[in-house]
């Protein structure tokens, strides 16, 4: 059984971003719906991440996940097909070193 998720496992690579960035604050619960399966994204200053296009309310956002955030990526992978899946994401922790996310499925298509 593979214990971690490699950046190479993600679907495609992208080079441009047009939507706002989804920010989840400490203690916040956010309901989002995935529009795609995620893509590799490389920023010149921040390096590589996995970018998901998601909808929160009526607005489209880019949600960036660090490829080293194995716990969150494992939860996302367990969802199966992402496009059309609605989840509640909860964040606990205020610093990178103590930030943890949990995901609860709301609806799948």
pLDDT tens readout for residues 39-88: 999 988 889 999 999 999 999 999 999 999 999 999 999 999 999 999 99
- pLDDT for the residue numbered 13: 53
Residue 20 lies in a domain: yes
Cα(91)–Cα(89) distance, integer angstroms: 7
Residue 91 lies in a domain: no
Give the count of domains, the chain.
1
Output the pTM of the full model. Answer: 0.79
User: What is the pLDDT of the chain when averaged over all its residues?
Assistant: 85
Hunting for tokens 């992208």 — which residue is that?
14
Region 1-25: what's the mean pLDDT? 62
Residue 80 lies in a domain: yes
Residue 82 lies in a domain: yes
H-helix or E-strand spanning residue 47: strand 47-56
């Amino acid at each position: 059984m593979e214990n971690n998720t490699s950046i190479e496992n993600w679907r495609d690579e992208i080079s441009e971003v047009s939507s706002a960035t989804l920010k989840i604050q400490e203690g916040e619960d956010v309901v989002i719906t995935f529009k795609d399966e995620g893509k590799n994204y490389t920023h010149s200053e921040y390096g590589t991440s996995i970018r998901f296009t998601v909808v929160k309310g009526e607005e489209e956002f880019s949600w960036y996940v660090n490829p080293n955030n194995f716990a969150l990526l494992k939860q996302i992978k367990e969802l199966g097909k992402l496009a059309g899946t609605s989840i509640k994401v909860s964040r606990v922790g205020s610093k990178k070193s103590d930030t943890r996310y949990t995901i609860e499925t709301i609806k799948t298509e």
